[in-house]
Structure 1
């Protein structure tokens, strides 16, 4: 934008002329994120000032939406944005976003007031999102103007506000940014404004609006499961995802090992049934559904395990569900299993294993540890009874195969989560873990836990629900426990050799091993009393203590 165009915006009385300049700028810069030409001769400051002066003039209301759209584009450039924004401009955007009508959430008689038209409100909220994301000064000014109170106030009356889907989407985006980047705002929303309660109510409202009549549900069988009661449209799905991300910000530091007070317990008891309902909902596409489930999984990582049982409530008389186990509705847990499989498929061979897999794996571990029925269901889905043992456990496309491949990934955090998940599903029995993964894949995890000499978890019931198939029992004598599968018969490498040749080959092997040890390539070790490997100085030390045989 040149000096002449900036001058038109600043001083022209012809709103049509100003509007043309603004429209041309928007058309030419729709996908631009930096504006180096504006850094020269103070053009940027002059342009921003002119735009906000127009916003403060009621006579220019005709072009307010265009001014806000230009500010939205300009606010993408974070260069020296901190020195540019001021409190007056932030309050102008808050006013144009209709937020000043909702400052008092304590006033029970407060009701939605008239707001500017939809385009102005939505553009103002987009501007606030961009500026708050790119400027620490802007976030501090937002805290000073009590915008957090206004956002919660508008959330409280969500169902009554005009054009609520568009408004609430950007309200929640802004709330997510502020709670992620301002600790004082996060603390105020959580402890003073009781934001979690209103966010949970917001999710409930979305589910109520997404409820389908029985006839409509049957007519939409191609897009929605027969047993599902909810179909989230894209606007509702977007709002739900932003609410879930904001909730994650509010409880992320709670810590699953810290004691839960009565207020937090009541909050979790309200939250978990809503998350279970969202996991059972459908979306307009698989990508939208996976995005929703990913955000739910992220939030569940901060929920204490004691509340996981509420994801799979007991069925009442006459109630039906798609996946039932031991009298419980397992639909929500099945959705999480599908998410795990989807993430394993989509991250195979990528560099984003930790970011993509750690949340859902953490949820799986906490679910398996926190609820016996969920552990048994997960075991049946992830580690079904073995039938074909002709291939190594890491070869194939089943969930078990993909998890076993990750037992040797260089991403140690993912490897440890996968190993812990499988170990818990095996009731922390070494023999069962080796059976499903092979000793070679499980050795690292067993060494960390001091279980190389065998052992089992003590916190599980003694009764076993393991059922070996006829195929497995028939092949069991021929299974190599190191690789976890059968191996075809091999020719005897010593066949046709004389005793002298055999002795010569054996001495070559001894000398090679001695050379590797002396040069530090390998270091021999034995299993110590604590079940962990301990280095030895001489091979004869192997004879001093014979390690225990693995127990099942």
Structure 2
């Protein structure tokens, strides 16, 4: 846009202004930077002209075009911090219908602007809030938080709520992620979590209307097993879940009564969403990923509500011990999906950490969930001819991660498998091989074969199959599988040749020790490796063997 065009936009001939803006929008629809506006202060002049029109009632006919142009311009971060002022932010808030509520309990008794104006203004606020810290700070000094929360309660009164709900949630996510003061205000003062949970319930009920009685209770969703989220509903749900993650993310372990009540409302909604279906597998995994992210900040005591007991006449796809395990099975499917996407260590932590954290908390916090997870992840062994890390089962894939260089993922996987084994060293070695488990056992001081904290039931869950019992004598515990008979390398050698080869080995080991390549160790009294000065010390203190 040249200076002549900017002069036209600054004028009051709205027909010419509209034509100029339409041409600009058509040309730059997919453009994200506007370097030509850096010359002769064009950017400031254009922004000022656009907001001047937005503040004038006489130019209402071009308000949508002005807002759309601002939306495109706000993609470019150049000089954005210097451009934004409080007056312009308030103008956008007013055009978005986020009125200045004095009391957040007031109802929306002010007429909403036109749908197109509200939608474009919300898009502008999302872009500007995301790209500008100054804009976020200005938002913190306005009543935008009250307006957003008030609208959460008032969607039924808005005829075009489906068009603006997504952008409301996007703006809430941006502000709660990047402004601590707004986050605290929405969570503590305005009780935003309660209204967000209500929105989730409403969305699931809307998606379930053909299959369930909508007149039923809206607090605890029932019969939501058959809900199908349309793409627009799914996008809104994901933004809500991301915002709820921001609001619940905290380090405090103690849960207040208000938080306990909030979690008791949240868990049935998350469980219902784990039952839901979407148009594609990718979108379903996106939904489950956002749920898993949120669950990482939920105390494990509330995980029991993921697997409710089945009442008379109720059924489910996955049932264990009289409980509906569909939600937990959905999390296992998410883990399997994430494992299939993780072909290298580059994004291993981002892909696997949330769902592994959730499964760890589930297995440790709820006995019946641990038993179900063990049934799926570590079923009774049958074929032990291959090492545990070879194959395509969930157990095989997790065993491969026990030796990943990404230590945070390795520790999460090892802890998960260790919990499923009831923290028994022998059982862990049985399913993973001692070589794969050694690092984790060393960290916990269990190399000597001791058992971890006794916090599990005494009833045995280990039922060895006939195939495993037959192969057990030939299993090498280091690799976790059977090995074919090996030829004796000393066969045909004289005693002198054997002694010569032994001395070569001793000299090589001595050289590696001298140069610091390796350092021998033995298992100390605390179950952790203890360096030794000479290999003969290992003969005086033989290692304890793990007991099953």
TM tier, smaller: over 0.9
Output the CA distance in 2 between the equivalents of 1:166 and 1:105: 23
Aligned to 1:499: 495
- The match for 1:156 among 140, 153, 156 is 153
Output the CA distance in 1 between the equivalents of 2:499 and 2:110: 96
Output the CA distance in 2 between the equivalents of 1:471 and 1:127: 65
Equivalent position SS for 2:205: helix
Output the CA distance in 1 between the equivalents of 2:92 and 2:330: 41
Q: Is the 8 A contact 1:101 1:112 kept in 2?
A: no
Q: Is the 8 A contact 1:102 1:154 kept in 2?
A: no
Q: Give 1:42-57 correspondences, 5 Å limit.
A: 42-57=41-56
Q: Is 1:9 the counterpart of 2:9 in the alignment? A: yes
Q: CA deviation at 1:191?
A: 0.7
Q: Give 1:442-481 correspondences, 5 Å limit.
A: 442-457=437-452, 458-481=454-477
- The match for 2:403 among 390, 405, 408 is 408
* Alignment CA distance shift 1:201-1:468 (3 Å): same
* Alignment CA distance shift 1:270-1:215 (3 Å): closer
Output the CA distance in 1 between the equivalents of 2:30 and 2:515: 60
Aligned to 2:318: 323
Output the CA distance in 2 between the equivalents of 1:319 and 1:9: 64
Output the CA distance in 1 between the equivalents of 2:482 and 2:71: 63
Output the CA distance in 2 between the equivalents of 1:383 and 1:328: 20
Q: Give 1:345-360 correspondences, 5 Å limit.
A: 345-360=340-355
Equivalent position SS for 1:283: coil
Q: Is the 8 A contact 1:55 1:61 kept in 2?
A: yes
Equivalent position SS for 2:166: helix
Q: Is 1:304 the counterpart of 2:299 in the alignment? A: yes
Output the CA distance in 2 between the equivalents of 1:215 and 1:271: 20
List structure 1 segments (4+ residues) > 4 angstroms apart after TM superposition: none
Q: Is 1:235 the counterpart of 2:198 in the alignment? A: no
Output the CA distance in 2 between the equivalents of 1:495 and 1:539: 27
Q: Is the 8 A contact 2:274 2:327 kept in 1?
A: yes
Aligned to 1:73: 72
Output the CA distance in 2 between the equivalents of 1:159 and 1:229: 24
Q: Give 1:94-133 correspondences, 5 Å limit.
A: 94-100=93-99, 104-107=103-106, 110-111=107-108, 113-133=110-130
Identify the range of structure 1 (341-350 vs 326-335) with the bigger mean alpha-carbon deviation: 341-350
Aligned to 1:508: 504
Output the CA distance in 1 between the equivalents of 2:279 and 2:487: 58
Equivalent position SS for 1:455: coil
Q: Is the 8 A contact 2:100 2:146 kept in 1?
A: no
- The match for 2:535 among 535, 539, 542 is 539
CA RMSD of aligned residues (A): 1.6
Output the CA distance in 1 between the equivalents of 2:467 and 2:303: 36
Aligned to 2:131: 134
Q: Give 1:271-286 correspondences, 5 Å limit.
A: 271-286=266-281
Output the CA distance in 1 between the equivalents of 2:495 and 2:319: 65
Output the CA distance in 1 between the equivalents of 2:522 and 2:503: 23
After superposition, what is the alpha-carbon deviation per residue over 1:98-121, rounded to whole angstroms, capped at 9, x for unaligned? 1117664212xx146432222211
Aligned to 1:34: 33
Output the CA distance in 2 between the equivalents of 1:347 and 1:113: 51
Q: Is 1:211 the counterpart of 2:201 in the alignment? A: no
Output the CA distance in 2 between the equivalents of 1:157 and 1:511: 81
Output the CA distance in 1 between the equivalents of 2:16 and 2:545: 88
Q: CA deviation at 1:33?
A: 1.6
After superposition, what is the alpha-carbon deviation per residue over 1:184-222, rounded to whole angstroms, capped at 9, x for unaligned? 100111110011111111100101111142499xxxxxx
Q: What stretches of structure 2 of length at least 5 have no aligned partner?
A: 214-222
Q: Give 1:192-271 correspondences, 5 Å limit.
A: 192-214=189-211, 228-255=225-252, 258-271=253-266
* Alignment CA distance shift 1:142-1:53 (3 Å): same
Output the CA distance in 2 between the equivalents of 1:524 and 1:103: 72
Q: Is 1:313 the counterpart of 2:312 in the alignment? A: no
Q: Is the 8 A contact 2:11 2:17 kept in 1?
A: no
Aligned to 2:375: 380
Q: Is the 8 A contact 2:224 2:272 kept in 1?
A: no
Output the CA distance in 1 between the equivalents of 2:393 and 2:343: 13
Q: CA deviation at 1:63?
A: 1.6
Aligned to 1:371: 366
* Alignment CA distance shift 1:242-1:430 (3 Å): same
Aligned to 2:184: 187
Identify the range of structure 1 (364-373 vs 80-89) with the bigger mean alpha-carbon deviation: 80-89
Equivalent position SS for 1:534: strand
Q: Is the 8 A contact 2:92 2:124 kept in 1?
A: yes
Output the CA distance in 2 between the equivalents of 1:360 and 1:180: 21
After superposition, what is the alpha-carbon deviation per residue over 1:399-455, rounded to whole angstroms, capped at 9, x for unaligned? 111111111111100000000000000000011111111111100000000000112
The number of aligned residues is 538
After superposition, what is the alpha-carbon deviation per residue over 1:154-205, rounded to whole angstroms, capped at 9, x for unaligned? 0012233221122110001000000011111001111100111111111001
After superposition, what is the alpha-carbon deviation per residue over 1:2-22, rounded to whole angstroms, capped at 9, x for unaligned? 101101100141x23212211
Aligned to 1:524: 520
Q: CA deviation at 1:317?
A: 1.7
Q: Is the 8 A contact 2:224 2:276 kept in 1?
A: no
Aligned to 2:165: 168
Q: What stretches of structure 1 of length at least 5 have no aligned partner?
A: 217-225
The TM-score with structure 1 as length reference comes to 0.95
